[in-house]
Chain A
Amino acid sequence: MQAFEYASPSSLKEAVGMLSSSWGETAVLAGGTDILSLMKDYIATPKKLVNIKGIKELGGIAKQGGGIRIGAVVTMDELASSPLLRGEYASLTQAAMGIASPQIRNMGTVGGDLCQRPRCWYFRQGFGVLAKDGSGNALVPNGENKYHAIFPQGDAYFVSASSLGPALIALGAKLKVTGPSGDREVAAEQFFTAPKSADGRETVLAANEIVTEIHVPAAKGIRNSTYEVRQKDALDWPLATASVALTMKGNTVSKARIVLGHVGPTPVVAEEAARALEGKTVTADLATEAGKAAVANAKPLSGNGYKLQLTRVAVKRAVMQAAGVRA
């Protein structure tokens, strides 16, 4: 990796003050599970690395205003094992446990999960986030794209790697983002974005902003669940995931949120799938219908048509799991 300056401030204000307003100059270090590999591969070459893991106010999971507050440097392991989340926020616990490596759960943080860069193998080999060759030809659509998007956006064919994003969106979470001019709140659903150029980013964060905490509203009575289709039981990126949150009225779904992961450059809110459930009682057939609706607008590439099926199944199984319906 390229030599860099290292800072480990103890306050958030100090940390934000150290960040440059332009990307690439500085980078935030928390668990390091992503930024260090980016640096080793020279995909990221920051001049300064700002460690935020020592900032106390960024830690902790606590009840707050009926919901829950999760600090950005909470590790995935703390999240997965928190009794405050288990049950009521099952979809988050399940998503965290989907990272089937104790080492990565011990190091990786909630904020890092949201801000990590794509795993697209063209991006990681230096062809840029939009994966183009020297002549500007897109490499993904006719290349090796079995792990890529079936909901591409513009020229962005990678998939968002976030495990927690879909569940947070389904639960209506809000992120607190802190920058030089103070805090702002961003709905989880608005946080992710598809870059339009090679130097674009995958979130709405500015270069000198840090995700500092996450607020998840009360989910008591909201049946929520995450289902990941992974090839391996051991550590492996999911091929498709679905997080669902069902507000129930008796046996009927009064409101549904279904969010897909690993199928687009951002988590994909599946509105039509949600509509398919509302006002109805969940059965295996209904869950299957929701799965079909979820991919109605998908645009698979040359080698990833199978992800349509995986997405249908992920939605079906997440819905059934949330509703407690057996196959």
Chain B
Amino acid sequence: MAGNYNWPPMESRRQMGKSYTRFEGIEKSTGRAKYSSDLNRPGMLHAMMLTSPHAHARVKSIDTAAALKVPGVTGVRVVAAAGAELNWVSQEIAIVAANTEQAARDGVRAIQIEYEVLPHVVKEDDLSKVGDRATPAGEQVTGDPEKAFKEAEVISEGQYGIPVLTHCCLEPHGQVIEWKGDVINFWPSTQNVSGIGGDLAKNLELPATQVKVHMDHVGGGFGSKFPSDRWGVEAARLSKEAGGRPVKLFLDRATELNMAGNRPSAFAKIKMAAKKDGTITGWESSSWATGGMTGGGMAPLPYVYVNIPNKRLNHTAVKTNGGPLRAWRAPNHPQASFLTCAAIEDLAAKLGMSPLDVMAKNVAWAVEARRETYLQQIKKAAELSDWNKLWHRRGDSGSGVVKRGLGVGICTWGGAGHLSNCNTTIHPDGSVVVELGSQDIGTGTRTIIAQVVAETLGLETRDVKVNLGDNAYPQSNASGGSTTVGGVCSSSRIATVNALDKLMEKVASSLGANADQLEAVNGKIQVKGTPGKSLAWKAACQKLGTQAITESGRNDPRNPRGLNTQGVGGIQVADVSVDTETGVVRMNKLVAVQDCGLIVNPRLAESQIFGACIMSICGALMEERVMDAATGRVLNPDMEFYKLAGISDIGEIQVHLMIDAEQDKRGIVGLGEPPTIGGIAAIANAVANAIGVRVPMVPLTPDRVLMALEERRA
């Protein structure tokens, strides 16, 4: 019998759709939750890295003899030997293991090294100064942009920039690792429990079966924690060399910010052609970006409005001596949203129109499947932000020193469930356990799986044990690209339906019915609609005798059986106040209107959006990697000048999730990235609306805001 995997009808759900708080929330907020970086194993060694102080250099010589003589040092591994080229500050050179953290540090400082310092380029904001580091991509032309601009009733032009950000994970990258005999026990901080062991094994040229991955919690990843990394590989080797003693190596804050991942920058000169009624007829952009020595790809421009009929796109990748880019929550989308929405806002200001009207007017240029969603979202966002009352024409914000303004940003994302396998076991004593090689990077993975399983079995969430965080569990893909909730909910639904079907086959005869006439509700197995003919859950499970049932389920992204799908829109409106004497921007409110199909847990979904909005506020107002042209250093690899919002900087965040029958029938769509995308655009546009002039570069720090105001006056 093929199971009926469909989600139960929205109105009859008892567990799914309920706003449980995250099950491990208390554990996490009281510090009882143990992250891999909290682990201390018996006999553990500590490892520290020697990293490059130069943005570009060659290792002339390296001598580790003195390091090996430091008391407590047990081993040194060199990864950048004489002759090696170093291409960014903090690039790994050598790793020292020792009995204590301090001895490891002393060992690092005892290494004798000489560098040949080579020329570097670390800044890309001025494309004319990057010399041979620029690699233009070919021009892409659609339609007839020349004609569109010639015939345009209005042309709007602007230049915009968004800098490199770092992931700044609160739990830095790293691991505890123990290589004893044939087995490596690996406790990483990762968003890739099922995959990271294989990656490590490949780097060590071992069979993947020899690596056992364990991780209960991860303190932030945002796209930067997929691979095993140099520090994982070398820590493993140091463990082996030390006879299997565990080795702990977590990056210090400066190294974390210097080279454990960043979001590429994006700069663009954008020109738009339009009719007086706001219809966009042409787009020209000339963009550039860096994400380190690999350059930086083009953000998807024009964003959302992909079908603008006449387009000319140019892009230049710039190689800079900075740490390498890694995926950053919605790769290239916040940049694209900012560049596009800033240009639309500037066009709207020129037309004297509301940007919401211009966005709605041009919705035909968005993909067809999202058009209606955007129109609904624009309407809702206007309502929640009190747009009709508070919005004014650009700069028309009264005579006071503090100016208030509103702005809008837009998003699009996929979010289909990833490949995920799950085992559900029903024990004869009635206990239930589900196992997946997955992780919780903020999604509330354990909580939502328990809701799905409890829903399926007619139980309470407390009756279900969810085991994640071990690669011995069935393989489930990495948490990236907003794929986790769709993937794990679908696989656990399928596995649990399969297990329940087996249980029903066992108990059917004692209820005098066929298995397909039974249902699991309210802690019972009963004949459908007949509570009188039932067995309590435990009594039903006792019929299994000594044999537990274990069934598997798999979410196959090629056939998600209607359980999950992809494709969302999203509109955010920011309401800001700008002190025009100091250039300080304060958030009044950020409204986030978001669709995401069937929602398993509204509170956790809302929580995802809160986090995303806070990241947007940081990115719009304060966060930026500051590079020094002369020394090639990142000047703010710390939590002091790498500025992030505190609670008092955030203002009100109002989330509106579209929960209705239409959305529900789509199935689950991932939510991690979409709400991270439009906020920067919304905030930057709100500031332009408030002060009457575009601040071309985010973050909107006082110096930039005051400079824009000064240029306007001049």
Interface locus among B192-200, B290-298, B603-611, B702-710: B702-710
B59 at interface (Cβ–Cβ under 8 A)? Answer: no
* Other-chain contact of B643, A122, A144, A231, A327 (Cβ < 8 Å): A231
Name the interface residues of A9-25: CB closer than 8 Å to any CB of B: none
Total A-B contacts with CB atoms under 8 angstroms apart: 87
A87 at interface (Cβ–Cβ under 8 A)? Answer: no
Q: A residues within 8 A CB of B645?
A: 232, 234
Q: In the bound complex, do residue A122 and residue B635 qualify as a contact, i.e. CB atoms below 8 Å apart?
A: yes
Q: In the bound complex, do residue A304 and residue B582 qualify as a contact, i.e. CB atoms below 8 Å apart?
A: no
A100 at interface (Cβ–Cβ under 8 A)? Answer: yes
Q: A residues within 8 A CB of B646?
A: 100, 232-235
Q: In the bound complex, do residue B582 and residue A313 qualify as a contact, i.e. CB atoms below 8 Å apart?
A: yes
* Other-chain contact of B635, A42, A144, A239 (Cβ < 8 Å): A144
B152 at interface (Cβ–Cβ under 8 A)? Answer: no
* Other-chain contact of A231, B401, B626, B647, B702 (Cβ < 8 Å): B702
Q: A residues within 8 A CB of B401?
A: 327
Name the interface residues of A181-230: CB closer than 8 Å to any CB of B: 229-230
The A interface, classified by DSSP as helix, strand, loop or mixed, is loop
How far does the alpha carbon of A237 sit from the alpha carbon of B702 in the complex, in Å? 13
Q: A residues within 8 A CB of B638?
A: 124
B142 at interface (Cβ–Cβ under 8 A)? Answer: no
Residue in B582, B626, B701 whose Cβ sees the most chain A Cβ within 10 Å: B582
Q: A residues within 8 A CB of B647?
A: 234
How far does the alpha carbon of A229 sit from the alpha carbon of B636 in the complex, in Å? 20
How far does the alpha carbon of A124 sit from the alpha carbon of B634 in the complex, in Å? 12
How far does the alpha carbon of A133 sit from the alpha carbon of B635 in the complex, in Å? 14
Interface string of B607-630 (1 = CB under 8 A from A): 000000000000001100011111
The B interface, classified by DSSP as helix, strand, loop or mixed, is loop
Q: A residues within 8 A CB of B621?
A: 231
Interface string of A222-258 (1 = CB under 8 A from B): 0000000111111111010000000000000000000
A147 at interface (Cβ–Cβ under 8 A)? Answer: yes
Name the interface residues of B639-661: CB closer than 8 Å to any CB of A: 640-641, 643, 645-649
Q: In the bound complex, do residue B640 and residue A119 qualify as a contact, i.e. CB atoms below 8 Å apart?
A: yes
Q: B residues within 8 A CB of A310?
A: 582-583, 702, 706
How many chain-B residues does the 8 Å CB contact rule pick out?
35
B633 and chain A: residue at smallest CB distance? A125
Q: In the bound complex, do residue A231 and residue B622 qualify as a contact, i.e. CB atoms below 8 Å apart?
A: yes
Question: Closest approach, in angstroms, between the C-beta of B713 and any C-beta of chain A?
Answer: 12
Interface string of B81-117 (1 = CB under 8 A from A): 0000000000000000000001001100100000000
B635 and chain A: residue at smallest CB distance? A121
B584 at interface (Cβ–Cβ under 8 A)? Answer: yes
Q: B residues within 8 A CB of A327?
A: 401
* Other-chain contact of B631, A139, A231, A236, A313 (Cβ < 8 Å): A139
B581 at interface (Cβ–Cβ under 8 A)? Answer: yes
Q: In the bound complex, do residue B703 and residue A233 qualify as a contact, i.e. CB atoms below 8 Å apart?
A: no
Q: In the bound complex, do residue B635 and residue A146 qualify as a contact, i.e. CB atoms below 8 Å apart?
A: no
Q: Given contacts A231-B643, A235-B646, is CB(A306)–CB(B583) below 8 Å?
A: yes
* Other-chain contact of A306, B630, B649, B702 (Cβ < 8 Å): B702
Interface string of A1-44 (1 = CB under 8 A from B): 11100000000000000000000000000000000000000100
Question: Closest approach, in angstroms, between the C-beta of B665 and any C-beta of chain A?
Answer: 43
Question: Closest approach, in angstroms, between the C-beta of B550 and any C-beta of chain A?
Answer: 49
Q: A residues within 8 A CB of B630?
A: 133, 137, 139, 142-143
Q: Given contacts A100-B646, A304-B703, is CB(A144)–CB(B626) below 8 Å?
A: yes
Q: A residues within 8 A CB of B626?
A: 121, 144
Name the interface residues of A89-122: CB closer than 8 Å to any CB of B: 100, 119, 121-122
Q: In the bound complex, do residue A239 and residue B628 qualify as a contact, i.e. CB atoms below 8 Å apart?
A: no
How far does the alpha carbon of A257 sit from the alpha carbon of B649 in the complex, in Å? 32
How far does the alpha carbon of A313 sit from the alpha carbon of B702 in the complex, in Å? 13
How far does the alpha carbon of A143 sit from the alpha carbon of B583 in the complex, in Å? 22
Interface string of B691-702 (1 = CB under 8 A from A): 000000000011
Q: In the bound complex, do residue A231 and residue B584 qualify as a contact, i.e. CB atoms below 8 Å apart?
A: yes
Q: B residues within 8 A CB of A304?
A: 703
How far does the alpha carbon of A121 sit from the alpha carbon of B633 in the complex, in Å? 10
A309 at interface (Cβ–Cβ under 8 A)? Answer: yes
Question: Closest approach, in angstroms, between the C-beta of B508 and any C-beta of chain A?
Answer: 61
Residue in B636, B646, B703 whose Cβ sees the most chain A Cβ within 10 Å: B703
Q: A residues within 8 A CB of B582?
A: 229, 309-310, 313
A307 and chain B: residue at smallest CB distance? B703
How far does the alpha carbon of A231 sit from the alpha carbon of B586 in the complex, in Å? 9
B646 and chain A: residue at smallest CB distance? A234
Question: Closest approach, in angstroms, between the C-beta of B649 and any C-beta of chain A?
Answer: 5
Question: Closest approach, in angstroms, between the C-beta of B130 and any C-beta of chain A?
Answer: 18
Q: In the bound complex, do residue A147 and residue B622 qualify as a contact, i.e. CB atoms below 8 Å apart?
A: no
Name the interface residues of B570-592: CB closer than 8 Å to any CB of A: 581-584, 586
Q: In the bound complex, do residue B622 and residue A309 qualify as a contact, i.e. CB atoms below 8 Å apart?
A: no
Q: In the bound complex, do residue A306 and residue B622 qualify as a contact, i.e. CB atoms below 8 Å apart?
A: no
* Other-chain contact of B629, A124, A143, A233, A234 (Cβ < 8 Å): A143
Residue in A3, A125, A237, A239 whose Cβ sees the most chain B Cβ within 10 Å: A125
How far does the alpha carbon of A139 sit from the alpha carbon of B628 in the complex, in Å? 9
Question: Closest approach, in angstroms, between the C-beta of A285 and any C-beta of chain B?
Answer: 14
Q: A residues within 8 A CB of B702?
A: 229, 231, 239, 306, 310
Q: A residues within 8 A CB of B581?
A: 309, 313
How far does the alpha carbon of A142 sit from the alpha carbon of B629 in the complex, in Å? 9
Q: In the bound complex, do residue A100 and residue B648 qualify as a contact, i.e. CB atoms below 8 Å apart?
A: yes
How far does the alpha carbon of A310 sit from the alpha carbon of B584 in the complex, in Å? 10
Question: Closest approach, in angstroms, between the C-beta of B630 and any C-beta of chain A?
Answer: 6
How far does the alpha carbon of A142 sit from the alpha carbon of B109 in the complex, in Å? 31
A60 at interface (Cβ–Cβ under 8 A)? Answer: no
How far does the alpha carbon of A234 sit from the alpha carbon of B649 in the complex, in Å? 6
Question: Closest approach, in angstroms, between the C-beta of B578 and any C-beta of chain A?
Answer: 12
How far does the alpha carbon of A133 sit from the alpha carbon of B630 in the complex, in Å? 9
How far does the alpha carbon of A310 sit from the alpha carbon of B629 in the complex, in Å? 26
Residue in A42, A229, A327 whose Cβ sees the most chain B Cβ within 10 Å: A229
A232 and chain B: residue at smallest CB distance? B649
Question: Closest approach, in angstroms, between the C-beta of B401 and any C-beta of chain A?
Answer: 7
How far does the alpha carbon of A147 sit from the alpha carbon of B401 in the complex, in Å? 24
Question: Closest approach, in angstroms, between the C-beta of B122 and any C-beta of chain A?
Answer: 11
Q: Given contacts A127-B631, A327-B401, is CB(A121)–CB(B641) below 8 Å?
A: yes
How far does the alpha carbon of A229 sit from the alpha carbon of B583 in the complex, in Å? 10
Q: B residues within 8 A CB of A121?
A: 626, 635-636, 641
A180 at interface (Cβ–Cβ under 8 A)? Answer: no
Q: B residues within 8 A CB of A133?
A: 630-631
A128 at interface (Cβ–Cβ under 8 A)? Answer: no
Q: In the bound complex, do residue B701 and residue A231 qualify as a contact, i.e. CB atoms below 8 Å apart?
A: yes
A303 at interface (Cβ–Cβ under 8 A)? Answer: yes
Question: Closest approach, in angstroms, between the C-beta of B436 and any C-beta of chain A?
Answer: 37
Q: A residues within 8 A CB of B584?
A: 229-231
Q: In the bound complex, do residue A3 and residue B706 qualify as a contact, i.e. CB atoms below 8 Å apart?
A: no
* Other-chain contact of B703, A143, A146, A230, A235 (Cβ < 8 Å): A146
Give the 7 A-B CB pairs with smallest separation, nearest first: A234-B646, A233-B648, A306-B703, A121-B635, A306-B706, A313-B581, A229-B582
Q: Which residues of A are interface residues toward B (Cβ below 8 A)?
A: 1-3, 42, 100, 119, 121-122, 124-125, 127, 133, 137, 139, 142-144, 146-147, 229-237, 239, 303-304, 306, 309-310, 313, 327
Extra pairs beyond A239-B702, A306-B706 (4, CB < 8 Å): A100-B646, A125-B631, A232-B646, A306-B703
27 examples of A-B residue contacts, CB within 8 angstroms: A2-B106, A100-B648, A119-B641, A121-B641, A133-B630, A143-B628, A143-B631, A146-B701, A229-B584, A229-B702, A230-B584, A231-B643, A232-B643, A232-B645, A233-B648, A234-B645, A234-B648, A235-B646, A237-B640, A239-B702, A304-B703, A306-B583, A309-B583, A309-B706, A310-B582, A310-B583, A313-B582
